[in-house]
Structure 1
Amino acid sequence: MRYGYIGLGNLGGHLAASLTIKGFAVTVCDRDRARGERHVELGAVWVDTPAELARTCTAVFTCLPSPAVSEAVLRELIGAGFTGDWIEMSTLGREDIARLAALAQSHGIRVLECPVTGGVHLAARGEITLLAGGDAGLLDRHRPALEAMGGRLFHMGPLGSAAVIKVITNMLAFIHLIADGEALMLAKRGGLDLAQAWKAIAASSGTSFVHETEGQLILNGSYDIAFTMDLALKDLGFAMKFGEEFGVPLDLATLARDTFLKGKEAFGGNAQSTMIVKLLEDALATDLRAPGFPARLE
């Protein structure tokens, strides 16, 4: 089996590299040719278009920034006569994956959704968590490749179920991020040593994955999580839609969405999502900095 991988950005680039490093035959494609250079050095084959990739691969992974881009790529695959398996690793809404899966299946393409969660640094280490939705037999067919990219793999149910849990995990992360900024600011304004406060929180009942990872980037001042304000707002928008659909009031998620809208207005849509904490820092003219914390997560 030869896998294709389309979308070599901050996340997809690491996922595709893990496949090649683990010995799978991989062909890669991205709008930015420079992104493919390290993959070719690792042993992958580069092609310029999804159509070229479709003609040589039996299964195709995609990791793309929006439903519109996913649809455009899928239509290129269909136009090239692709009839293999499509594994969509982008973060999509449930309606999006249902609609795109119906389009793909009408052209003889089998579909598995498999978004990931845990952060770019875990993708780089091959330890990211994968959330699968779709036919169990199709998942088993590609389980070796998926396990080569990640640490833990959860089958959430039929198509669309992985989209729901992925949005839930991201919604929680954004809420935790805002809360962590407030907690660190309380420690700072309370006269505590921030490095020691971070360690104490990490060892307490109040810790979170976000505190233990993104909290370090806040204290460093780089905020460099390789995830943008625009992407955060996209995912929070999906959460709002699920809240309406399922009849669940999302008070905290709504507050997080509104806060990220302010963050985008202040810093721009391409700013690091972790910079949401800088809103509070700027409002209080108080930086949250401590020595010994990394600029990027390894």
Structure 2
Amino acid sequence: MTVASQTVGFLGLGAMGLPMATNLVKAGFDVIAWNRSRPALEAAGAAGCRTAADPAEVAAATSVVITMLPDLPQVEALLQAGDGLLAPPGRAMDTLVVMGTVSPVRVRALAGDLTARGVTVVDAPVSGGVTGAAQGTLSVMVGAEPAPYDRVLPYLEAMGGTVRRMGGVGAGSLTKACNQLVVAGTLVSLAEAVLLAERGGLDTEALLDVLAGGLARSEVLTQKHHHLSHSDFTASGPARYLLKDLGFVQDSADDERVSLPLADTVTGLYRAVEDQGLGEYDNSVVLRLLRGAEPAGAREIPHPYHTKG
């Protein structure tokens, strides 16, 4: 079978999903796409995707369906609806690839439920943001047994620069939880460094340039340099989403019975960000929280995050 003849379904054409589906088209795949938003669906059509009227049409047309949705409740809603993925009597779908960031615990439970209905679940969350989605350089972390992994690998390689099977179902999402813990911890460390530099009279842009040239450099620093140095909290990655992901870290820690003191502290900080109504801002907005600029919630932050005026 040639690549051009292979059909894959794609549901969820948001800021990352649309370029991911587009990259599948560019790789020669026949993509049948669906999205609740009509403009996004029309954009997918303009990019070369075939468009479907509902999820059931996608499931009837192809054996492999990819979802790029915010969380498992959205995936589950598309499975169970009257026009959902499990609805068509002649359903072709037998493999569901969940590429959004979801709970490792819950995706394993979903996989168990769907096995009885003839559907294999592969969890394959990504890291790399909108830029990585557009460039096809995402890091894809996969949870699957070897056979389904081999089956979906060509699709994943069309969207990612690094694709790695981490273990059975749920392992991809656990890897993403680890990734998000490092991202959140790094963001808080950078925000604290900027705050300390400000209070000490340093030029914060110069500080971040120096950090980027040494051992402290990271992709987080590269992507958040402007946000932190200019206090520009226009969202590229909303703080609310990172808080959701940190909840999955906590779920996994409870499931594995491991203590993660840094995760506890960072989760508390991002919960305070959300409580102050800042969840729609960029996840670097934790700097604004640490500055104590907001009246509500800041006094509840544990002592190490209080600053002297």
* TM-score higher than 0.5: yes
Q: 2:126 aligns with which of 116, 119, 125?
A: 116
Which residue in the other structure is 1:259 paired with? Answer: 269
Which residue in the other structure is 2:144 paired with? Answer: 134
Q: Distance in 2 between matches of 1:213 and 1:128?
A: 15
AA of the residue aligned to 1:53: V
Which residue in the other structure is 1:290 paired with? Answer: none
Shift of 1:214: 1.7
Number of paired residues? 285
Alignment of 1:64-75 (within 5 A): 64-75=69-80
CA contact (8 A) 1:116 1:166 kept: yes
Which residue in the other structure is 1:39 paired with? Answer: 44
Q: Secondary structure at the match of 2:166?
A: strand
Q: Distance in 2 between matches of 1:266 and 1:228?
A: 14
Which residue in the other structure is 1:293 paired with? Answer: none
Which residue in the other structure is 2:54 paired with? Answer: 49
Q: Distance in 1 between matches of 2:227 and 2:24?
A: 28
Q: Distance in 1 between matches of 2:234 and 2:23?
A: 22
Shift of 1:100: 1.4
TM-score for the superposition, normalised by structure 2: 0.86
Q: Distance in 1 between matches of 2:225 and 2:265?
A: 20
Shift of 1:228: 2.2
| Higher-RCO chain (CA-CA 8 Å, sequence separation at least 6) | 1
State yes or no: 1:205 paired with 2:224. no
AA of the residue aligned to 1:107: R
Q: Distance in 1 between matches of 2:174 and 2:266?
A: 18
Q: Distance in 1 between matches of 2:261 and 2:225?
A: 23
AA of the residue aligned to 1:73: L
Q: Secondary structure at the match of 2:31?
A: strand
Which residue in the other structure is 1:99 paired with? Answer: 109
Q: Secondary structure at the match of 2:61?
A: coil
Gap change, CA 1:22 and 1:224, over 3 Å in 2: farther
Alignment of 1:147-186 (within 5 A): 147-186=157-196
Which residue in the other structure is 1:80 paired with? Answer: 88
Alignment of 1:210-249 (within 5 A): 210-249=220-259
CA contact (8 A) 1:120 1:225 kept: no
Q: Secondary structure at the match of 2:233?
A: coil
| Moved segments of 4+, more than 4 Å | none
Q: Distance in 2 between matches of 1:269 and 1:54?
A: 35
AA of the residue aligned to 1:264: E
AA of the residue aligned to 1:45: R
Deviations 1:187-224, CA, capped at 9 Å, x for gaps: 23323332221111011112222112123323244334
TM-score for the superposition, normalised by structure 1: 0.89
State yes or no: 1:90 paired with 2:100. yes
Which residue in the other structure is 1:296 paired with? Answer: none
Q: Distance in 2 between matches of 1:106 and 1:236?
A: 31
CA contact (8 A) 2:224 2:284 kept: yes
State yes or no: 1:23 paired with 2:28. yes
Shift of 1:225: 4.5
Deviations 1:89-115, CA, capped at 9 Å, x for gaps: 111212211121122221212221111
Q: Distance in 2 between matches of 1:242 and 1:252?
A: 14
Gap change, CA 1:58 and 1:246, over 3 Å in 2: closer
When the two chains are superposed, the root-mean-square deviation of aligned CA atoms in Å is: 1.9
Deviations 1:38-77, CA, capped at 9 Å, x for gaps: 2111111112311121111221000111221111122321
Q: 1:277 aligns with which of 265, 287, 303?
A: 287
CA contact (8 A) 2:125 2:142 kept: yes
Query: Gaps spanning 5+ residues in structure 2: where?
Result: 1-5, 295-309
CA contact (8 A) 1:229 1:270 kept: yes
Identity in percent: 29
Gap change, CA 1:249 and 1:101, over 3 Å in 2: same
Which residue in the other structure is 2:301 paired with? Answer: none
Q: Secondary structure at the match of 1:65?
A: coil
CA contact (8 A) 1:17 1:39 kept: yes
Q: Secondary structure at the match of 2:186?
A: helix
Q: Distance in 2 between matches of 1:224 and 1:62?
A: 26
Shift of 1:181: 0.8
